[in-house]
Amino acid sequence: MTSSHLAASDSGESQGLRRFYGSGAWIEGDAERQLTQTLTRPGVQAVAAFPDLHPGIHGPVGAAILSERVHPALIGGDIGCGMAMFRLDLPARRLKLDKAAAALRGLGDSWWGNPWAALEAEGLHPETFPAALGTLGGGNHFCELQAVAALDDPEEAARAGVDSGSLLLLVHTGSRAFGPMLLGALTPAEQEALDLATEAGADYLRQQEMAVRWAALNRRVIAERAAELLRAEALLIVDSPHNLLEPHAGGWLHRKGAAKTSPGGLVPLAGSREAPSWLLKAAVETPEGALDSLAHGAGRRYRRSAMHGRVGRSKSELLRLERPAGGSRVICEDRGLLIEEAGAAYKDARKVLADLVAFGLAAPVVETRPLLTFKTARETRT
């Protein structure tokens, strides 16, 4: 791995590439190569790369790409994936961590609600993957209970209903099997460049929008489930997708691990199981070339395969992954996933935030610290 020494003013900008990170950012050489390759795709006009940039399967993660043509592979299979932040009406002073940890294990059970009614209420067909609704899935998806560590902008925080004693939920997940089905229905050639005049192109556009809506509903259902388990109510602060396709400036904006923003809007920035997260306020005047997008989190520093053997080599190390320094808890009953998603797998979120601030992209509103991170648990119902 190498650390990039290219900033947003360096070579490559004239070719439509803007890098919103400084010389100290941890950027793999493979991610830089994927940026260069992305610029050669037919119709690509502009690329914005953020400090959480890392290599992906089909292209860079942590980037927004504007193109005259649609490239489904750049978005990938988890269409609509994003993060939503909620405020609980339960004050932090009343939280009992042991009881909360036991309660949140219930997220591993099947949802006890009515998925068909929830889908219909959202304008989606009731048979659109009802069994998956209210579930996180694997990978880097999570539901995290957080406490307020600092109010960086107390006035903006108050407008969001957050004070120093608030408890927050940050939910990261997407469209589950829906998105991969849409990508898999395309031929390899269509995944690389899709003709919108074809039936396959029109169907992809229509169903892609449905998958984005399904994913937002899924985050809301998960938050409602978590809140009910904690005997509280979850109030949405912001939902921010980061894997999606949208019309933009006469072309098509592809976001892959790049959070959708609006001028002055709120956006979550996820840290890791062992690091803070933030609620950010996007700049009112978007810097040129940012494509109305932001980093969505710290971004991976090490690939999943590289984490095996790096951490979790003994029972004591595994226990530390479940009980990180700082007193938080991680509920993850999949040993491989616990290792692959360890805090050490991710970049320093503070440095990512510093780059976003330095380039005038966003400012911090609330800093949070993890209390309970739910990833997976065995179903307890019979």
Q: Taking residues 242-250, what's their average pLDDT? A: 96
226 domain residue, yes or no: yes
Q: Does 381 map to a domain?
A: no
Which class for 147: exposed (0-12), middle (13-18), buried (19 or more C-beta within 10 A)? Answer: middle
Residue 152 burial (CB < 10 Å; 0-12/13-18/19+)?
A: middle
Give the number of domains in the chain: 1
The tokens for 87 are 């405020």
- Strand-pairing partners, residue 295, are 258
Q: Which of 286, 284, 285 is nearest to 258 (CA)?
A: 286
CB atoms within 10 A of CB 200: 16
3-state SS class at 368: strand
Report CA dihedral (122, 248, 57, 354) to the nearest 10 degrees: -100
Q: Given pLDDT bands bounded at 50, 70 and 90, which one contains residue 13?
A: low
Distance CA 242, CA 315 (A): 36
Single out the residue of 188, 202, 206 nearest to residue 79, CA to CA. 206
When pLDDT is averaged across residues 322-340 and rounded to a whole number, the result is 91
DSSP state of 231: T
Instruction: Give the list of residues 6+ apart from residue 338 with CB closer than 8 angstroms, or none.
Output: 312, 318, 321, 322, 330, 332, 375
- Find out whether 69 and 252 touch, Cβ atoms under 8 Å: yes
47: left (phi over 0), alpha (psi -120 to 50) or beta: beta
**17 in a domain, yes or no?**
no
Q: Which token pair is 200?
A: 């396959």
pLDDT at 6: 39
CA 382, CA 4: separation in Å to the nearest integer? 52
For residue 195, being part of any structural domain is answered with yes
pLDDT value of residue 338: 94
How many residues in total does the chain contain? 382
Phi, psi (5° rounding) for residue 116?
Answer: -65, -45
For the stretch 172-209, pLDDT in tens is 999 999 999 999 999 999 999 999 999 999 999 999 99
Q: pLDDT at residue 255 above 60?
A: yes
CATH of residue 145's domain is 3.90.1860.10
Give backbone dihedrals phi and psi of 158, rounded to 5 degrees, phi first.
-65, -40
Confidence of residue 325 (pLDDT cuts 50, 70, 90): confident
DSSP string, 259-274: EE--TT-EEEEB-BTT
For the segment 94-106, the average pLDDT, to the nearest whole number, is 96
Residue 40 falls within a domain, yes or no?
no
What is the predicted pLDDT for the residue at 7? 42
Q: How many other C-beta atoms can be found within 10 angstroms of the C-beta atom of residue 320? A: 17
Assess if residue 306 is contained within a domain: yes
- Residue 100 and residue 131: Cα distance in Å, rounded? 25
Is the residue at 191 inside a domain? Answer: yes
| 243 located within any domain | no
> Which class for 201: exposed (0-12), middle (13-18), buried (19 or more C-beta within 10 A)?
middle
Residue 111: what pLDDT? 92
Can you give the residue range of the structural domain that contains 345? 80-236+261-376
> Tell me, what's the pLDDT at 378?
76
Q: Catalytic annotation on 172?
A: no
Given 58, 141, 242, 296, the catalytic residue: 296
- Distance of alpha carbon 71 from alpha carbon 67, whole angstroms: 8
Q: Give residue 361's pLDDT.
A: 98
Sign of the alpha-carbon torsion through 175, 236, 240, 136:
negative
To the nearest whole percent, how much of the chain has pLDDT over 90?
Answer: 88
Determine the pLDDT at residue 115.
97
Q: Fill in the DSSP letter of residue 106.
A: G
